[in-house]
Amino acid sequence: MDVLQYAWLIPVFPFIAFMLISLMPKRTLGWEDGWGYAIAGAGGALVLSFLVIWEVVNGNTLTLDAPRTTWLIIGSYEVTFGIWIDALAALMLLVVSVVGTLVVVYSGGYMHEEGETRRRYYAEIMLFISVMYGLVIADNYIQMFIFWELVGLCSYLLIGFWYQKPSAASAAKRAFIVTRVGDIMFMAGIIILFKYVGNLDFARLFEDGATSTVPGDMMILATALIFGGAIGKSAQFPLHEWLPDAMEGPTTVSALIHAATMVKAGVYLVARTYPLLVQTPESLLFVAVIGGVTALIAATCALAADDIKRVLAYSTISQLGYMILGLGAGGYLVIHSLDPNGYTAATFHLMNHAFFKALLFLCAGSVIHAVGTNDMRLMGGLRKHMKITSTTMLIGALAIAGIPPLSGFWSKDEVLAAVYHAGDLDPTFLLLWVLGIATAFMTAFYMFRMWFMTFAGEARSDYHAHESPKIMTIPLILLAGLAITSGFALFAGDGFKALMEGPIEDLPDVGPIVSGHESASDIAVEIFTDPLTYVSLVLAVVGILLAYRIYYLPGFDRSVFARGITGKFQRALENRWYISKFYDDFAYKVWYGFSLVCDAFDRRVIDGAVNGFSYLGANTGGVLRKAQSGNVQRYASLIIVGIVVLLALLLFVVPWGGW
Amino acid sequence: MIPIEYWLIFSSLLLAIGIYGVMTRRNAIVVLMSIEIMLNAANINLVAFSSYYSSLHPDLGTDATGQAFALFSIAIAAAEVAVGLAILLSVYRRYQTIDVDKINILRW
């Protein structure tokens, strides 16, 4: 039995769980308000995903001849629902299944006090995971777009899970509206493709010469617009501000959004659109610049954040920026028939980031669960009370900081190397490489700032912290194990790179790619003989030591941050470079003013016209009814006057007029 | 034979008298009488033109169509007066007046 044929069942498991949790009568639901069904749904998808991944690792894919079913027919184009399983989809399946399942398990402990509302929580989580699977295995842009929107809907529902809090309700709306800007761009992009190609199946679009009917400018526009979808979904600059606000949801939801679903969808979209992107170097450069700028801006914002989840949110944006930057640089390398390092590195970073970021968020959840606040200024000294959480979070922080041999080191180094090599082709990439290196330094600094503020030193407020229950610590330990080991996928078997080159090995209009790596030992030698590796490593270590000096050792006067130039800088960072404020001002002043004008137009002009006609009728009637006096003699007089006038007309005017 | 113009002037005068009566008198009975005068003006016209038509076409013999219509008209006028007087009677019973200026409730 070919298990790949049944990959379409993966989203079905969580969807059935969603249906059961939401439709079962309250009395029969039982077992912690649906947690059991959620575990079963996520677990079923996990098992099937692993079977599919195993097939893909063994070199089987299912792309062109996958089973499809026609959904509707538009002209000569059949919109189908099908599956498209290659190494990229398998990678996403791995991420979604592992992180999703562990988050559901962890939720059993984290959401324990929520009572009845957990039912809604589990139902929404299951739908979220289900539609993310659907997005990952989609075989055409329309199917992808449908699930893309559903992912946005689920994130809205979950960010606003505590909708009684006004801040949560507004954060949910913000996430929905801001990502919608990207969704519109995505839709515009696929509409352009459909207009010129008449087909949106990957099988057709990724053929040689499929896009020859698209004019050059339109192709650039289409690929840039599709990337615009990723800007919204993956919280890239300038649409990144919704993600830090999305911290209003439960921490488990943040873990899911940041590590597995939602924001990874944008990176996945860019990676999936690679065959089109490599036809337009301009768009690739745009992709890379957005990625690099986002990485830097988000990292600077994380430096001054005091909310533990906000630090992690900005670090997510920053790491997503790395992935996007890597994809952009990788595309440049592919165009020039060089080793497609960026693509493999970015997807590798996507996987590693999923594990260590899920770990970091679930650790933060554990901390918040124990302390009851998000504010790091009120924490401190938790290491003594929460040994497992503090150790696993340290592992996560080391991984994201890029300390070997943890996973973050390998992928971040690969991304930066790819960007540096792309610098030979376009000097812009050298600049982006500098941004990337600076980001690596800041990442190490703010992650350890967070760790020291939370776990080291003395308690800065009154709380009775205790370690979380096993149902929460076991997922942490599993994820910590993955955060340590997932980087070694680079060396397992034929190597991660060889596998990930599969989806792009024969790109249209570019030809077969040139693979530069033969064996695992070659990769290791290349990494450790490259001076660039040591540049980023030294910077990361310096960042950690700096955080250690400022936030751990006594004697550093932190009030220096509040004075003079550094004070201004600090305030700019605390206000997130005023980007959020800019959007608020834009909304309140410009858009609200425009809305007032529209409102006035509606009330005065449109309503005025309607009311005016009714007044006209009423007033005319009011005047004319006076003629109806009831006096018969006046009627008779009027009739006679009318007859006389008619006769006069007939006798004098009509002959005179020549009629 | 009296020329047709004389008849027409006579009937116009009768019509004018009738109109004047309808427009000026307050008493509904007199208004009704004035309407009868206007009707008779029309009857005279019918008879006059009937006679004039026969004199224009002697070869056709006497055509009495107009005169017959005048007879119909007189009969209908009689019926109309009966109906009109009946209405006035009930108006009088209801309002104790037949002053047309006062009978004006059929209005806005």
Q: Report whether A372 contacts A463 (CB < 8 A).
A: yes
Q: Which residue from B minimizes the CA distance to A626? A: B108
* Residues A563, A609 within the same domain: no
Residue in A633, A634, A641, A644 to test binding to B, most B beta-carbons within 10 Å: A633
* Residues A462, A592 within the same domain: no
pLDDT-wise least confident of A163-167, A527-531, B72-76: A527-531
Q: For residues A253 and A490, what is the distance between their CA atoms, to the nearest angstrom?
A: 29
Hey, what are B60's tokens?
């056709």
The answer to whether residue A281 sits within a structural domain is: no
* Residues A379, A494 within the same domain: yes
Helix (H, G, I), strand (E, B) or coil at A299: helix
Mean pLDDT of A360-380: 81
Contact at CB, A631 and B101, closer than 8 angstroms: yes
Hey, what are B79's tokens?
């019926």
**Helical spans, DSSP H, in A501-631:** 520-529, 531-551, 564-574, 579-585, 592-600, 607-624
| Number of structural domains found in chain A | 2
Phi-psi region of A463 (alpha: psi -120 to 50; beta: other; left: phi over 0): beta
Hey, what are A363's tokens?
């650790």
A628 touches chain B (CB under 8 A): yes
Residues 6+ apart with CB under 8 A from A49: A10, A93, A94, A96, A97, A133
Nearest CA to A106 out of A388, A375, A318 is that of A388
Domain range holding A450?
359-568
Name every chain B residue with its beta carbon within 8 A of the beta carbon of A628.
107-108
Q: For residues A176 and A418, what is the distance between their CA atoms, to the nearest angstrom?
A: 34
User: Phi, psi (5° rounding) for residue A406?
Assistant: -75, 165
The pTM of the full predicted model, rounded to 2 decimals, is: 0.76
Q: Which domains does chain B have, with CATH numbers?
A: 4-95 (1.10.287.3510)
B30 touches chain A (CB under 8 A): no
CB pairs under 8 A between A and B: 30
Helix (H, G, I), strand (E, B) or coil at A507: strand
Query: How near does any CA of chain A get to the CA of B89, in Å?
Result: 17
pLDDT-wise least confident of A91-105, A179-193, A227-241, A327-341: A327-341
Q: Which amino acid is at A92?
A: M
Mean pLDDT of A353-376: 84
The answer to whether residue A431 sits within a structural domain is: yes
Q: For residues A152 and A133, what is the distance between their CA atoms, to the nearest angstrom?
A: 14
* Residues A458, A592 within the same domain: no
The answer to whether residue A227 sits within a structural domain is: no
Residue in A626, A628, A636 closest to B22 by CB: A636
How confident is residue A614, by pLDDT bands cut at 50, 70 and 90? very high
**Helices A31-57 & A12-23, crossing angle to 10 degrees?**
170
Name every chain B residue with its beta carbon within 8 A of the beta carbon of A630.
104-108
Q: How buried is residue A73: exposed, middle or buried, by Cβ count under 10 Å (0-12/13-18/19+)? A: exposed
pLDDT one-digit tens code per residue, A535-579:
888 888 888 888 888 777 776 666 666 666 777 777 777 777 777
How confident is residue B44, by pLDDT bands cut at 50, 70 and 90? very high
B19 touches chain A (CB under 8 A): yes
Q: What is the pLDDT of residue B15?
A: 93
Q: What is the pLDDT of residue B21?
A: 92
Mean per-residue pLDDT of chain B: 89
Nearest CA to A178 out of A251, A250, A124, A229 is that of A229
- Residue found under tokens 């009395």: A27
| % of chain B exceeding 90 in pLDDT | 58
Q: Report whether A85 contacts A56 (CB < 8 A).
A: yes
Q: How many Cβ atoms sit within 10 Å of the Cβ of residue A40?
A: 17
Query: How near does any CA of chain B get to the CA of A659, in Å?
Result: 27
Q: Report whether A415 contacts A408 (CB < 8 A).
A: no
Contact at CB, A626 and B108, closer than 8 angstroms: yes
Q: What is the pLDDT of residue A512?
A: 62
The answer to whether residue A376 sits within a structural domain is: yes
Beta bridge partners of A72: A79
* Residues A561, A426 within the same domain: yes
Q: For residues A237 and A317, what is the distance between their CA atoms, to the nearest angstrom?
A: 9
The answer to whether residue A475 sits within a structural domain is: yes
Residues 6+ apart with CB under 8 A from A620: none
Q: What is the pLDDT of residue A460?
A: 73
The answer to whether residue A328 sits within a structural domain is: no
Residue in A626, A628, A640 closest to B19 by CB: A640
Q: What is the pLDDT of residue B9?
A: 94
A621 touches chain B (CB under 8 A): no
Contact at CB, B104 and A629, closer than 8 angstroms: yes
Q: For residues A139 and B19, what is the distance between their CA atoms, to the nearest angstrom?
A: 93
Phi-psi region of A380 (alpha: psi -120 to 50; beta: other; left: phi over 0): left
Contact at CB, B108 and A628, closer than 8 angstroms: yes
Q: For residues A374 and A247, what is the distance between their CA atoms, to the nearest angstrom?
A: 10
Residue in A625, A626, A631 closest to B104 by CB: A631
Give the max Cα distance, chain B: 60
Query: How near does any CA of chain A get to the CA of B101, in Å?
Result: 6
Hey, what are A635's tokens?
């009627």
pLDDT one-digit tens code per residue, A221-260:
888 898 888 888 888 888 888 888 888 888 888 888 887 7
In b/e form, how buried is each residue of A554-589, taking b as 16+ CB within 10 angstroms?
eeeeeeebeeeeeeeebeebeebeebbeebeeeeee
| % of chain A exceeding 90 in pLDDT | 7
Q: Which residue from B minimizes the CA distance to A633? A: B23
Contact at CB, A633 and B101, closer than 8 angstroms: yes
Q: What is the pLDDT of residue A32?
A: 64
Which A residues in the span 308-337 are in contact with B, Cβ-Cβ below 8 Å? none
The answer to whether residue A194 sits within a structural domain is: no
| % of chain A exceeding 70 in pLDDT | 93
Query: How near does any CA of chain B get to the CA of A625, in Å?
Result: 6
Mean pLDDT of A403-414: 83
Q: Which residue has the higher pLDDT, A93 or A586?
A: A93
* Residues A558, A586 within the same domain: no
Strands A77-82 and A68-74, by their bridges, are antiparallel
Q: For residues A612 and A600, what is the distance between their CA atoms, to the nearest angstrom?
A: 16
B96 touches chain A (CB under 8 A): no
Q: Which residue from B minimizes the CA distance to A621? A: B108
Q: What is the pLDDT of residue A537?
A: 85
Mean per-residue pLDDT of chain A: 83
Give the helix, strand, coil percentages of chain A, each rounded to 5.
Answer: 75, 5, 20
B22 touches chain A (CB under 8 A): yes
Hey, what are B33's tokens?
């009488």
Mean pLDDT of A70-84: 84
Does residue B6 register a pLDDT over 90?
A: yes
Does residue A518 register a pLDDT over 80?
A: no
Does residue A429 register a pLDDT over 80?
A: yes
Q: What is the pLDDT of residue A515?
A: 63
* Residues A475, A592 within the same domain: no
Helix (H, G, I), strand (E, B) or coil at B22: helix
The answer to whether residue A172 sits within a structural domain is: no
* Residues A456, A559 within the same domain: yes
* Residues A558, A587 within the same domain: no
Does residue B89 register a pLDDT over 90?
A: yes
pLDDT one-digit tens code per residue, A294-318:
888 888 888 888 888 888 888 888 8
B100 touches chain A (CB under 8 A): yes
Q: Which residue from B minimizes the CA distance to A638? A: B23
Nearest CA to A96 out of A143, A154, A140 is that of A154
How confident is residue A493, by pLDDT bands cut at 50, 70 and 90? low
How confident is residue A619, by pLDDT bands cut at 50, 70 and 90? very high
- Residue found under tokens 């990724």: A206
Contact at CB, A630 and B19, closer than 8 angstroms: no
Contact at CB, B107 and A637, closer than 8 angstroms: no
* Residues A459, A561 within the same domain: yes
* Residues A364, A485 within the same domain: yes
Q: How many Cβ atoms sit within 10 Å of the Cβ of residue B3?
A: 9
Contact at CB, A628 and B107, closer than 8 angstroms: yes
* Residues A562, A585 within the same domain: no
Contact at CB, B107 and A629, closer than 8 angstroms: yes
Hey, what are A364's tokens?
């933060």
- The strand ranges marked E within A314-463 are none
B56 touches chain A (CB under 8 A): no
Residue in B22, B31, B107 closest to A630 by CB: B107
Hey, what are A491's tokens?
């060396």
A620 touches chain B (CB under 8 A): no
Does residue A420 register a pLDDT over 70?
A: yes
How confident is residue A658, by pLDDT bands cut at 50, 70 and 90? low
Contact at CB, B104 and A630, closer than 8 angstroms: yes
Q: For residues A91 and A348, what is the distance between their CA atoms, to the nearest angstrom?
A: 9
Contact at CB, B23 and A636, closer than 8 angstroms: yes
Q: For residues A93 and A91, what is the distance between their CA atoms, to the nearest angstrom?
A: 5
Cα A59 to Cα A6, A40, A88, A344, A500: the distances in Å are: 17, 29, 13, 17, 11
Does residue A527 register a pLDDT over 80?
A: no
Mean pLDDT of A411-433: 84
Q: Which residue from A minimizes the CA distance to B102? A: A631
How confident is residue A659, by pLDDT bands cut at 50, 70 and 90? low
Query: How near does any CA of chain A get to the CA of B61, in Å?
Result: 34
Q: How buried is residue A381: exposed, middle or buried, by Cβ count under 10 Å (0-12/13-18/19+)? A: middle
Name every chain B residue with its beta carbon within 8 A of the beta carbon of A625.
108
